[in-house]
Structure 1
Amino acid sequence: MKSTQTLFKLALIAPLALTLTACGEEAPGEGESAAIAAIPAPDGTNWGETITVSAEDGYILGNPDAPLKLVEYASHTCGACANFSATGKPPLKEYVATGVVSFEQRNLVRDPIDVAVATLVRCGAKENMQVLSDQAWGNLEAIFANVNANGAAYEAAGEMPVEQRFVQIAEAAGLIDFFAARGLSADQQRACLADTAKIESIINNSQTQAEELGIQATPTFLLNGRKLDVNQWNDLEPLLQRAGARQE
Structure 2
Amino acid sequence: MALTRRFTLGMIAAPLALGLAACSSADADEAAIDAEPIAEIPAPEGTEWTDVVEVSEYDGYVIGNPDAPIKVIEYASLTCPACAAFSMDGAAQLKAEYVSTGRVSYELRNQIHGPHDLMLAQLVRCGADESFHPLSDQVWADLNGVLGPVFQNQDAFGQALQLPEAERFVAAAEVAGFYDFFAARGVSEDQARTCLADFQAMETIANNSNTQGQEFGVTGTPTFFVNGVKQDGVLNWAGLEPILQRAGAR
| TM-score, structure 1 normalization | 0.94
Superposed counterparts of 1:218-237, under 5 Å: 218-229=221-232, 230-237=234-241
Q: Structure 1 residues 167, 22: closer, same or farther in 2, change over 3 A?
A: farther
**Runs of 4+ displaced beyond 6 Å:** none
The Cα offsets for residues 6-44 of structure 1, whole Å up to 9 and x where unpaired, read as: 0211232333242412558864316x4221000111122
Q: Name the CA shift for 1:2/1:243 in 2 (closer, same or farther; >3 Å).
A: farther
Distance in 1 (alpha carbons) for counterparts of 2:210 and 2:89: 27
Q: Which residue of 2 aligns with 1:123?
A: 126
Distance across 2 between alignment mates of 1:236 and 1:54: 22
Distance 2:91 2:160 in 1: 34
- The reply to whether residue 240 of structure 1 matches residue 248 of structure 2 is no
Q: Separation in 2 of the partners of 1:70 and 1:172?
A: 36
- Indicate if the aligned counterparts of 2:111 and 2:221 stay in contact, CA closer than 8 A: yes
Q: Distance in 2 between matches of 1:237 and 1:3?
A: 37
**What amino acid sits opposite 1:45 in the alignment?**
T
Change (3 A) 1:205 1:22: farther
Once the two structures are superposed, the pairs formed by residues 90-129 of structure 1 within 5 Å of their partners are: 90-93=92-95, 94-129=97-132
Corresponding residue to 2:173 among 170, 174, 180: 170
CA distance in 2, matches of 1:169, 1:116: 9
Distance in 1, matches of 2:11 and 2:128, equals 25
RMSD: 1.7
User: Given residue 237 of structure 1, which amino acid in structure 2 is its aligned partner?
Assistant: E
1:186: which partner in 2? Answer: 189
* Higher mean C-alpha displacement, 162-171 vs 221-230: 162-171
> Are the aligned partners of 2:24 and 2:219 in contact in 1 as well (CA < 8 Å)?
no
1:153–1:168 contact (8 Å) kept in structure 2: no
Deviations 1:87-124 (A, max 9, x none): 01111012000000000000111101100000000001
Q: What fraction of aligned residue pairs are identical, expressed as a percent?
A: 50
Task: Indicate if the aligned counterparts of 2:170 and 2:197 stay in contact, CA closer than 8 A.
Answer: yes
Decide which of 35, 51, 60 is 1:58's aligned counterpart. Answer: 60
Is residue 2:59 matched to residue 1:44?
no
Contact 1:14–1:112, Cα closer than 8 Å, also in 2: no
Opposite residue 7 of structure 1, the aligned amino acid is F
Q: Paired residue for 2:7?
A: 7
Change in CA separation of 1:200 and 1:141 when aligned onto 2, cut-off 3 Å = same
| Superposed CA offset, 1:177-231 (max 9, x none) | 0000111110100000000111011000111101111111100000111100211
SS at 1:159 equivalent: coil
Shift of 1:3: 1.9
Native 8 Å contact 1:166 1:193 kept in 2: yes
Query: What's the secondary structure of 1:115's corresponding residue?
Result: helix
Give the C-alpha shift of residue 148 in structure 1. 2.6
Which runs of no fewer than 5 residues in structure 1 stay unpaired? Answer: none
Residue 157 of structure 1 deviates from its aligned partner by: 1.7
Unpaired runs of 5+ residues, structure 2, are none
Q: Which residue identity lines up with residue 71 of structure 2 in the other structure?
A: K
3-state SS in 2 of match to 1:238: helix
Q: Is the 8 A contact 2:161 2:169 kept in 1?
A: no
CA contact (8 A) 2:36 2:247 kept: yes
For residues 12 and 24 of structure 1, the distance between their equivalents in structure 2, rounded to whole angstroms, comes to: 31
Code of the residue aligned with 2:118 in structure 1: it is V
CA displacement 1:133-169 (0-9 Å, x = unmatched): 0001111101222113322221112311121111122
